[in-house]
Amino acid sequence: MERQRPVALVTGASRGIGRGVALALGGAGYDVVVNYVRDADAAGKVSASLAELGVRGHVSRADISVAADRERLVADVYDTFGRLDLLVNNAGVGPKVRADILEASEESFDHMIGVNLRGPYFLTQLVANRMVVRDRSGVPAPKIVIISSISAYTASANRGDYCVAKAGLAMTAKLFAARLAGHGINVYEIRPGIIETDMTGPVRDRYDDLIHNKGLTPIARWGVPEDVGRAVVAVATDLLPFSTGQVIDVDGGFHLRTL
């Protein structure tokens, strides 16, 4: 009998970092559930690219900020594949308007927390409860990845809601890592820096100047989604088996303090 490929669920996988992660996992031999909310065409293209890599890309629409959608998404994964080896919490949104924290609205805050923090928190809870009762003969051992941001510790007063949500994700990774270690489930926080995506498009000129002229990052280039994808593959392929709750910086050295 042909050995079943491991299965990954990547939220927000139709574009940007999620797309890069999905394709990197496909290249590593994973079947991938390509979650999306709005752009079905883009999700379908990711699925087609996965098929070209010789793996399966299963498209599943769900808004992770909605409890019923989360439940339907996880049920779809298990109904389709019968297993889940890797959850990658990637889906997230930027603020609709960058507003000073002295003026920002509760509506924006609630939206940001719902998508960027509450959704991943409770999706992880839902998946973890499935993983702890898994068939332990499966290889590799299941893992959970939370994609956060340098905004987890970098204050941007014109998008405080985004920063608060990402800081919450950092603690979410630690909490689940501590709770699930006894079940053989490792949890990792991957912390991207300035990555070239649609989300960073509106501030491209500013970041170009900071990166190339102002020395913002020791590695003087933009990050790309593939950089994050490689970090996820390192986790997925068991290269960090004695680490959990670990922060993996993918930021060109932004986190370094230099004189």
pLDDT tens string 178-236: 999 999 999 999 999 999 987 776 778 888 899 999 999 999 999 999 999 999 999 99
User: What pLDDT sits at residue 84?
Assistant: 97
User: What pLDDT sits at residue 1?
Assistant: 36
Question: How far is Cα 164 from Cα 72, in angstroms, rounded to an integer?
Answer: 28
Question: How far is Cα 30 from Cα 232, in angstroms, rounded to an integer?
Answer: 12
Burial class (CB in 10 A: 0-12, 13-18, 19+), 130: middle
User: What pLDDT sits at residue 108?
Assistant: 93
Higher pLDDT, 147 or 136: 147
Is residue 66 pLDDT above 90, yes or no? yes
Contact 158, 98 (CB under 8 A): yes
Question: pTM to 2 decimals?
Answer: 0.94
Cross-strand bridge partners of residue 89: 146
Q: Domains plus CATH for the chain?
A: 7-249 (3.40.50.720)
Strand segments, DSSP code E, in the chain are: 7-10, 31-36, 57-61, 86-89, 143-147, 186-192, 246-250
Question: How far is Cα 96 from Cα 40, in angstroms, rounded to an integer?
Answer: 22
Question: How far is Cα 54 from Cα 28, in angstroms, rounded to an integer?
Answer: 10
Query: Shortest CA distance to 166 belongs to which of 143, 192, 142?
Result: 192
Name the pairing type of β-strands 186-192 and 246-250: parallel
Condensed to tens digits (0 to 9), the pLDDT of residues 85-117 reads 999 999 999 888 889 999 999 999 999 999 999
Average pLDDT value for the chain: 94
User: What's the whole-number mean pLDDT along residues 20-27?
Assistant: 98
Catalytically annotated residues: 162
Angstrom CA distances, 42 to 12, 39, 162, 222, stand at: 11, 5, 25, 23
| pLDDT band (50, 70, 90) for residue 137 | low
User: What pLDDT sits at residue 138?
Assistant: 56
| pLDDT band (50, 70, 90) for residue 3 | low
| pLDDT band (50, 70, 90) for residue 253 | very high
